[in-house]
Amino acid sequence: MLPRNANQPKASLPAAAPSPAVLTDFDDTAAVQNVAEMLLERFGDPSWKQVRQRFREGDLTLKEYQEIAFRQIQADRATMQAFVQENANLRPHFGALWDYCLAHSVPMAVVSQGLDFYIKALLHKEGYPQVPVYSVNTRFTRRGITYQYRHTNPGQEHLGNSKGLVVDQYRQQGHYVIYIGDGRSDFEAAERADLVFAHKVLAEECQRQQIPFQPFQDFGSVLAALRKFRANGASAGAATESRVRLGRPRESREFGSMHEEGSR
C-alpha cells in the first residue's frame, strides 16, 4: 500500500448532530395551574387584580406587577408552599420526560419569571426536586419578600429575568433547544429556540409572527419529539424552519391583542 501523502487533505468528517436540551415555562405550562395567581387569590390583597390590569394595559412590566402584587401578601413561605403542594400539580408526562432526560444525559430545566419558592415547592411535592430552575430568587424577611434577578440582559435589568437569555446560553453551548411555553413572556424564548411547543397566548403570537411551533397539551408530545430527535438527528425537528435567532429588544416588540398576561 502506498503511504498517504502528508500534504493530502484529509476527508472531512460529518458534523455531529447537536445535543438536545429541554426548557419549559412553569405557570400554566409545567404546572397545570397559574400557581402565582392561585397564591394571590388565596393570600393576596384584593387590589392585586387592579395591579394585574395595569400590567395587561402596558403600564407595568411583569417584574413590577409581580413585586407589587406579592408585596401585599402576609403569609410566610411555609404556609404558601404548603398551599401549593395541596392545590397544584404538574402537567401529565412531565415526570416521564424528566426521567428520559436524566437517563440520556439531556439537560432539562424550568425557565420562569415566577418565584423560586413556589416552583420548587411543587417540584418537590411531585418528586422532582433536582430539576434545575431559572427563576426569580426570593428571600423572606421581616420587611417582606426581597427579589434577586440573576438572568437579566445587560441594560435591561428593569425588565427582570430574560427567558431568551437562558435559551441563548444553551444554544451557545451547542444544544438544540426544545422550548415549551404559553404566554407572552415566552415569546423571546420562542424566537430563539430550535423547536417550540406552544399553547394559549404564545401559540397565537407565534402564528401571528409566523414562527413555527407545535401545539402543546402535555409533555407526552415533547417526549415523543425528543425521542425522534435523538433517533434521527436534527431532521426530526423539521418543523423548525430557519428563523431569526436573536430577537428584537424586548421593549420594542409589538404583540397582537392579548386578553391575559400569560405565563411567568
Q: pLDDT higher for 91 or 3?
A: 91
pLDDT higher for 251 or 74? 74
Interval 177-198 mean pLDDT: 97
Among 70-74, 126-130, 183-187, the range with the most confident prediction by mean pLDDT is: 126-130
Pairwise CA distance, residues 217 & 32, whole Å = 10
| E strands in 47-127 | 108-115
Residue with more model confidence, 249 or 28: 28
* pLDDT, position 248: 40
- Return mean pLDDT, the chain: 87
Looking at per-residue confidence, does 105 or 144 come out higher? 105
Strand order in the sheet with 19-24: 144-148, 133-141, 108-115, 19-24, 175-181, 195-198, 214-215
Map out the domains of the chain with their CATH numbers.
19-33+91-232 (3.40.50.1000)
Q: How confident is the model at residue 256 (pLDDT cuts 50, 70, 90)?
A: very low
Q: How confident is the model at residue 247 (pLDDT cuts 50, 70, 90)?
A: very low
Which tens digit of pLDDT belongs to each residue from 218-233?
A: 999 999 999 999 999 7
Instruction: Indicate if the pLDDT at residue 192 is higher than 70.
Output: yes
Give the three-class secondary structure for 76.
coil
Of the chain, the percentage scoring pLDDT greater than 70 comes to: 82
pLDDT tens digits, 21-58: 999 999 999 999 999 999 999 999 999 999 999 999 99
- Per-residue pLDDT tens digits for 151-172: 999 999 889 999 999 999 999 9
* Amino acid 233: pLDDT: 73
- Which one-letter amino acid corresponds to residue 114? G
Q: Which helix (H) or strand (E) holds 227?
A: helix 219-232
SS3 of residue 200 by DSSP? helix
Among 226, 232, 202, residue whose Cα is nearest residue 216 = 202
pLDDT in tens, 95-127: 999 999 999 999 999 999 999 999 999 999 999
Q: Is the pLDDT of residue 201 over 70?
A: yes
State how beta strands 175-181 and 19-24 pair.
parallel
Question: Is the pTM for the entire model greater than 0.75?
Answer: yes
Residue-level pLDDT at 74: 85
For residues 113-142, average pLDDT: 97
Quick one: pLDDT at residue 241? 40
Q: What confidence score (pLDDT) does residue 235 get? A: 57
The confidence score (pLDDT) of residue 79 equals 97
pLDDT of residue 215: 98
Q: How many CB atoms lie within 10 A of CB 78?
A: 11
Which of the pair, 234 or 159, is modelled with greater confidence? 159
**How do beta strands 175-181 and 133-141 pair?**
unpaired
